[in-house]
Amino acid sequence: MTIQSQAVDPGVPPPVVAPGPAQSQTLIKIENLKTYYPIRAGLLRRVVGNVRAVDDVSFEIRKGEVFGLVGESGCGKTTLGRTLLRLEKPTSGKADFDGTDLLKLQGRELKAMRRRMQIIFQDPVGSLNPRMPVSDLIGEGLLAQATPENGWGQRKTRDKRIGDYLEEVGLRREYSRRYPHEFSGGQRQRIGIARALALNPEFIFADEPVSALDVSIQSQVLNLLADLRERFNLTFLFVAHNLSVVQYISDRVGVMYLGKVVELADVTELYAHPRHPYTVALLSAVPDPDPRVRKRHLVLKGDVPSPANPPSGCRFHTRCWLREQLGNPENCVAEEPLVRDIGAGHLVACHHAEKISDNVAREAVQGSIQVGEQARSPELAPIIAPDEVPGQDLDSPPPLSSEPGYDAPPAV
Amino acid sequence: MTETVAAPEEAPEPVRRAGVGDVLLDVQDLRTYFHVMDGTVKAVDGVSFSIRKGGRLALVGESGCGKSVTALSIMRLIETPPGEFAGGKILFEGTDLLTMDDRHIRKVRGGEIAMIFQEPMTSLNPVMTVGDQIMEAILIHQGVNKKGAQEIALKALQDVGVADPKRRLKQYPHELSGGMRQRIMIAMALSCNPKLIIADEATTALDVTIQRQILELIKAIQERTGAALLLITHDLGVVAETVDDVAVMYAGRVVETGTVEEVLLHPRMPYTRGLLESIPSQGKRGQRLSAIKGTVPNPFRLPPGCKFEPRCPFGWETCVESEPELITIGRDRSARCWLNDKRFAGRLASYSAPPATEPR
């Protein structure tokens, strides 16, 4: 079944799927993973229900790719990553890492595996112990994973490695003696990245690594992550709620809603041809910094329902705009949609995904440029001499401040 | 029901909307300092901007640039000491809020000027019902009895799209979701028919689909009531969609002003441009993002010249030595950058190197 055969508007060219690394190896294969948190109540603290944070999720992460995972708070994206790293206890399911089931590992084997999988946390303040100097913050993991072969148990080797990785993330070696409060937010996030990298991992779970940073610092850290990925051949699970950031850095993207992956595709395919009504609404809600762009906003009603008591059938049906347009078909409420392939590895879990045309998606996601046609000025706009501005009397330029040592400005 | 799908927006609005009139709020050279143990932090140091009646202005900048302190100064919510209004004026309908006595400012605050805060959880009182909190301001400002106040509160909740408002009045903040709490905050702000609404990062803590709901709500209400809007945000996307005019702030100063189209499409200050260029997007996949190098300067050790010079790809000696004023470029258009001074008109052309590269 392909989109083209059922698309509402046949005039639109078929979606082009970038020749993704389909042949490349799988690093992590997740099958029917569930992570539930029990809700206890009453005198005996009996389990009266479950918060289904991750509910029957299956997908693969390929070697060397950045797999982006998006969704709103509480959709289970962080729990999913933490379960893979065995920081949360899975309820059931399988997760294969390079041939070993992560969820069954114990003791020594688990510890050895932990070196290969690292995490970068969201909060650059809360994730660094304020009483530890940087050398201890990074060295702690090295010490825990020390073996006779790697020699991390020896102070000298360890210190060298700490210095090397500080430089790798753009900080100075000498900083290893400083404490977290001496650094800015962006620098702290770099320390967090150095800590993950120092263990020479193959896989990094980046949990909202740039969300707490200002825009100008965010781009520095994104550039750093992109560099390191290439240099160290890393595979990333990149979780974020900022859809532009995910689009920029990811190769493939999964969209989660209430514990389920509802859509998964190559990044260009997903952003150009979203086929799940939730994905379309999510993308249409992102404000565009270009003031000429007019988007069709699909405003979702209400809030995300509780994951302790998710709606029947399709979990999105209570807020779905497509269901309303189609006259509230019965199967949305009655039947849970299965994840299906609508062509070239584009997975979607919606009964009516084919009803979303490329036109609707384009209007909602990209919008159209309506105000003026000139492009954003590629350089700073040419400077108009102020006396050419009509109605302005600026013949006498503002006086330069009389800082000591300041000479008259150079003649131009 | 088809309201969920918003109709495609109509033709672009003119730059100045009809009904936007005289100056409502005029901030002139505002200076708000904080005297702390290590010295004086000049959080706001020479901020000027104005909003017309019914106008919509955004103050944009990164954390620590002084945008929230500006808003709190307008509301006179700065504790003095340690704070100090070291200079300037905040003229609201011609009266200076900074010299107003406490009794009068209380009338303005919440009555004429209302504020929507960033954290809907911490800015609502957890031990008071939603109803009591909304009615508190109404009772103070509108001279009605409790029954009348309740009616106004119900109406305000209906206006912000809260379903079953009678039940909500009796609920406590912890029983509500983030989006619902923000609606309550907006209802509180609106209940006294303010002339100016200040929204301080009102949608920052919300998820993107909820942010969309709240943005649409604020826009609709602002248009219906004709109140002016001062939007404080760091998100240039929100700016582009919500307001008409922008003032960009950096290190306690306004560094660029103009209409949204002018500032976001033709920035005349390298900082604004750097912010715009560092936003990741589809077109930049596979390329390095151009980042603004370095970090925001330490407020105790601001550079003597242009505060942005240490991070600026264009700076030269003049920028190191002296700080530019806000240089007027056109009607309501200005930038605090020497590049806009006609004496340096040829300067920009001499920079051929790609700007804004980050250190490694």
Distance CA A210, CA A315 (A): 29
Share of chain B above pLDDT 90, in %: 19
Compute CA distances A16 → A69, A278, A296, whole Å. Answer: 22, 21, 23
Long-range contacts of A19-22 (CB under 8 A, 24+ apart): A20/A251, A20/A252, A20/A266, A20/A345, A21/A62, A21/A64, A21/A65, A21/A251, A22/A345
Which pair of structure tokens corresponds to residue A320? 């779905």
How are beta strands B327-330 and B245-250 bridged, if at all?
A: unpaired
Highest-pLDDT range among A277-286, A298-307, B324-333: A277-286
**Is residue A68 pLDDT above 90, yes or no?**
yes
Q: B285 and A406 in contact by Cβ < 8 A?
A: no
Q: How far apart are CA B338 and CA B347, in angstroms?
A: 9
Lowest average pLDDT, out of A1-15, B181-195, B237-251, goes to A1-15
Q: Report in angstroms the alpha-carbon separations of A345 from A237, A272, A284, B302.
A: 18, 15, 23, 53
Question: Which pLDDT belongs to residue B20?
Answer: 57
**Residues of chain A contacting residue B5, judged by C-beta atoms under 8 Å apart:** 296, 298-299, 321, 324-325
Q: What is the pTM of this model?
A: 0.81
The answer for residues whose C-beta is within 8 angstroms of residue A236's C-beta and 6 or more apart is A65, A66, A67, A203, A204, A205, A206, A225, A229, A249
Q: What pLDDT, in 10s, does the model give residues A95-145? A: 999 888 988 888 889 999 999 999 999 888 889 999 999 999 999 999 999
What band does B350 get if pLDDT is binned at 50, 70 and 90? Answer: low
Q: Residues A369-401: pLDDT tens digits? A: 655 444 554 445 444 433 443 333 333 333 333
Q: What ipTM was estimated for this complex?
A: 0.79
Mean pLDDT of B144-149: 88
Residue from A214, A224, A244, A325 to probe the interface with B (highest B Cβ count within 10 Å) = A214
CB contact under 8 A, A248 and B285: yes
- Average pLDDT of chain A, as a whole number: 82
Chain A residues near residue B270 by CB distance under 8 angstroms? 380
CA B237 to each of CA A105, A358, A388, B119, B240: distance values in angstroms, whole numbers, following the listed order: 45, 24, 32, 20, 5
CA angle B100, B156, B160 (to 5 degrees): 110
**Beta-carbon count within 10 A of A12 CB:** 16
Measured on CA atoms in the order A172, A174, A177, A179, is the torsion positive or negative? negative
Compute the nearest-CA separation of A215 from chain B (Å). Answer: 7
Mean pLDDT (chain B) is: 83
Residues A253-268 have pLDDT tens digits of: 999 999 999 999 999 9
**pLDDT band, very low/low/confident/very high, at A180 (cuts 50, 70, 90):** very high
B32: left (phi over 0), alpha (psi -120 to 50) or beta: beta
Q: Do A73 and B180 touch (CB under 8 A)?
A: no
Task: State mean pLDDT over B50-68.
Answer: 90
**pLDDT at position B180 over 90:** no
Q: Is the peptide bond before B81 cis (omega within 30 degrees of 0)?
A: yes
Cα A268 to the chain's mean position, in Å? 15
Residue, of B281 and B234, whose pLDDT is higher? B234
On the question of pLDDT at A191 being above 80, the answer is yes
Residue A7 has pLDDT above 60, yes or no: no
Closest alpha carbon within chain A to B275: A216
Spacing of C-alpha A137 from chain mean position? 25
Q: Taking the domains of chain B in order of start, what are their residue ranges? A: 266-280+290-352
pLDDT in tens, B77-93: 888 888 888 888 999 98
For position B349, what pLDDT does the model report? 59
Judged by CB atoms within 8 Å, which residues 318-377 of A form the interface with B? 321, 324-325, 363, 370-372, 374, 376-377
Which tops the pLDDT comparison, B152 or B291? B152
Nearest to B295 among A184, A290, A383 (CB): A184
CA dist A240 → A70, A209, A219, B178 (Å): 6, 8, 14, 19
Give the distance, in angstroms, between the CA of residue A55 and the centroid of all CA atoms in the same chain: 19
Give the nearest partner residue to A289 out of B2, B211, B276, using CB atoms. Answer: B276
* B342/A293 touch (CB, cutoff 8 Å), yes or no: no
Contact A392 B328 (CB under 8 A): yes
Is the Cβ pair B207, A241 closer than 8 Å? Answer: yes
Q: Would you call A289 and B270 a contact, using CB atoms and an 8 Å cutoff?
A: no
- A42 or A410, which is more confident: A42
* pLDDT(B7) > 60: no
Nearest CB partner across the interface for A291, out of B2, B265, B321? B265
User: Chain B partners of A281 at a C-beta cutoff of 8 Å?
Assistant: 209
Nearest to A370 among B12, B288, B329 (CB): B12
Closest CB from B62, B305, B345 relative to A214: B62
